[in-house]
Amino acid sequence: MNKRRSCKHNIQDVEYVTCPYCENSKQFKMLHWGHLKKIHNKKLEDVLKDFPNFPTMTKRESDRRSNARIKCDNKITKTCNKKYGGVGYLSKELSEKTRNSVEKKYGVRNVMQNKKISSKFEGDNNPQKDPDVKNRMIKTLKKFYKNNPHHTKGKTYNEIMGPERAAERIKELRISGALGQSLTPFISAPQKELFKLVKQMYPDAKIEYPIDIFCIDIAIEDLKIAIEYDGSYWHNKERDIYRDSVLKEKGWSTIRFEDYIPSKEELILEINKNII
């Protein structure tokens, strides 16, 4: 069901409204932006700021406009459903027709790829900052993709991109995953305890430090030493060997402690062994 849209006007149940900047103002159903701009070089926002309780639209005019919009929207919806089987991008025929028109006018099939147009929707101008608009858009997209599955659904990266680009994309995702883990990490209690011990000797040590496609438990960056706390239940030995070899190629040494926290003396000894 169509609902009344949010309105910037100060709507009051009065017979008419006047312009607060005019000494002998005409009577209006709605204080028009054209009058404010041409006569006073003002905007509606100025009126609402300068005269917060001043009516700028009658309730009767607001109702008339709202009913007219609802009637028009219903007519458009009915026509599009009958002619195209849906409104906007819900109809494949209407979607293609719209995209062709956009491409002809702006040179792109998605109007938001045009910088001049997209810049008008940045910051506070973004309509999705309005919860009602955002919810309607989400609802529409869910309905669209339910009836029109994406062309990549069910396909592998190899099928979509080809082997070479697929390998690159998988590595990109692993790198972004490592970065994401470093920003919002899950840190176990033993890892925190080990990190606290390392920090006593190396205050600049970092926890969950991203390198390439990996995220190191604890990193002593200056020495290029990676310290890992391994819980035997979770860890895969073959994967750890591969991980260590990749880090070694990048000049890093890896120290692993499986299911236990070393003493300070043990830790110092292991670090000294791996200092190049």
The pLDDT assigned to 6 comes to: 66
Cα distance between residue 276 and residue 187, in whole Å:
28
Tell me the residue range of the domain where 98 lies.
Answer: 86-117+126-148
Residue 67 has which token pair?
A: 């009913």
> Does 249 fall in a domain?
yes
Q: What are phi and psi of 36, to 5 degrees?
A: -60, -40
Q: Is the same domain home to 14 and 52?
A: yes
Q: Is the same domain home to 68 and 7?
A: yes
> Predicted confidence band at 3 (pLDDT cuts at 50, 70, 90)?
low
> Does 221 fall in a domain?
yes
> Does 179 fall in a domain?
no
* Amino acid letter for position 261: I
> Does 42 fall in a domain?
yes
Q: Is the same domain home to 10 and 66?
A: yes
Which CATH number characterizes residue 225's domain? 3.40.960.10
Q: Is the same domain home to 72 and 94?
A: no
Q: Is the same domain home to 77 and 8?
A: yes
> Does 48 fall in a domain?
yes
CA distances from 14 to 10, 39, 171 (A): 11, 24, 65
Q: Which of 32, 65, 84 is the last residue of a domain?
A: 84
Q: Is the same domain home to 97 and 67?
A: no
> Does 268 fall in a domain?
yes
CA distances from 198 to 143, 193, 206, 215, 258 (A): 53, 9, 9, 17, 16
> Predicted confidence band at 94 (pLDDT cuts at 50, 70, 90)?
confident
pLDDT tens for 162-206 read 899 888 888 888 888 888 888 788 888 999 999 999 999 999 999
Q: Which residues contact 57 (CB under 8 A, 6 or more apart)?
A: 7, 9, 10, 11, 12, 17, 29, 30, 31
Q: Is the same domain home to 91 and 80?
A: no
The pLDDT assigned to 87 comes to: 80
The pLDDT assigned to 116 comes to: 87
pLDDT tens for 124-168 read 888 888 888 888 888 888 887 787 777 788 888 888 888 998 888
> Does 13 fall in a domain?
yes
Does residue 276 contact residue 253 with C-beta atoms inside 8 Å? yes
Task: Give how many domains the chain has, as a whole number.
Answer: 3
